[in-house]
Structure 1
Amino acid sequence: MSNRLIETLAGAAVIAVAIGFAAYSYSRAGIDTVEGYEIKASFNRIDGLVVGNDVRISGVKVGSVTGQELDPDTYMAVVKMSVRADLSLPMDSSAKVASDGLLGGKFVSIEPGGDIDMIQAGGEIEYTQGSVNLEDLIGQVIYSSTSSSE
């Protein structure tokens, strides 16, 4: 009976430490949404981009992806983003779906332009580049290497 009590207490201690570690990691990860104004951008592909992913400028998180939908007229993916209220983005800014390395997650990278007019809340980034499909690229490399050796 004493062995079972010790095992139960040890198991409870392990679970408590795991819950504490998870809570600490979540609070330090910076995955909360950024409060600010909402903008949107239309992309031809957003493979791997999900609600909650980062919006970055020069690698610094300045916002979060808050929504995705398909435009039924253009069949483009419309991504809604919340950007920090203290940032003003020029009208000629561009956005692209980028990757955190070969196996990393996706994020929206914004490249600020030089226009004097700024995007207002609810505005849209016009210049976009969708995500690159890694499987298609690998297939093209394999196909081009086998067809050139024949």
Structure 2
Amino acid sequence: MQRNLVETLVGAAVLAVALGFGWYAYSTTSIRGTRGAYELTARFDRADGLAIGTDVRVSGIKVGSVTAITLDPATFFANIRFALRSDVKLPDDTVAEIAAEGLLGGRYLNLNPGNADTILAAGQAVKYTKSSADFMQMIGKFLFSATEDKGKTGAAPAAGSTQP
């Protein structure tokens, strides 16, 4: 009887700690989503690194998250829908860009507010966008251009040949 009581108390303590940990994780992370949010959209020619749930930031502060990513079949542009906190009001000339947390880090949607007097309403589209830079493509272009330049200017004429 004594043993059953101890096992029950230990089990209850473990369950209480697990529930406390779950509540703490839920309240301190972005699992619960954006409360009182309104949605905006933006079109990008490429949406590399974005996924549903990706952070939306203004001045480095998370103010929302990406809620949908779709492909426009007519233009092949990526349509990004994102939810913002209701206290964040963006001017009409805001620029949305896909930014990287570091050279090899993850991506997020960065919003650079402009100075317009009109505010974007729920459901409107951000007009100005900048897509992500593809670092691997840039490195490849740099390496291939360096190889081409070396091939054009680095070759010496063969012995006995004449140049025009």
Output the TM-score relative to the length of structure 1.
0.80
**Distance in structure 2 (CA, Å) of the matches to 1:116 and 1:141:** 42
Query: Which residue in 2 is equivalent to 1:30?
Result: 30
Higher-RCO chain (CA-CA 8 Å, sequence separation at least 6): 1
**Distance in structure 2 (CA, Å) of the matches to 1:27 and 1:141:** 46
Code of the aligned partner of 2:97: K
Percentage of pairs with the same residue = 42
**Distance in structure 2 (CA, Å) of the matches to 1:95 and 1:101:** 18
> Aligned-pair distance for 1:54?
0.4
SS in 2 for 1:141: helix
**Paired residues, number:** 134
Code of the aligned partner of 2:137: D
Deviations 1:20-57 (A, max 9, x none): 87885565343542121000000000011000000001
SS in 1 for 2:138: helix
> Aligned-pair distance for 1:65?
0.3
**Distance in structure 2 (CA, Å) of the matches to 1:130 and 1:56:** 15
SS in 2 for 1:143: helix
Check if 1:45 corresponds to 2:24.
no
Output the TM-score relative to the length of structure 2.
0.73
Query: Which residue in 2 is equivalent to 1:132?
Result: 133
**Distance in structure 2 (CA, Å) of the matches to 1:105 and 1:26:** 22
Code of the aligned partner of 2:131: G
Q: CA RMSD in A?
A: 2.2
For 1:8-27, what aligned pairs fall within 5 Å after superposition?
27=27
SS in 1 for 2:110: strand
Code of the aligned partner of 2:34: V
Gap runs ≥5 in structure 2: 1-16, 152-164
**Distance in structure 1 (CA, Å) of the matches to 2:115 and 2:100:** 25
SS in 1 for 2:136: helix
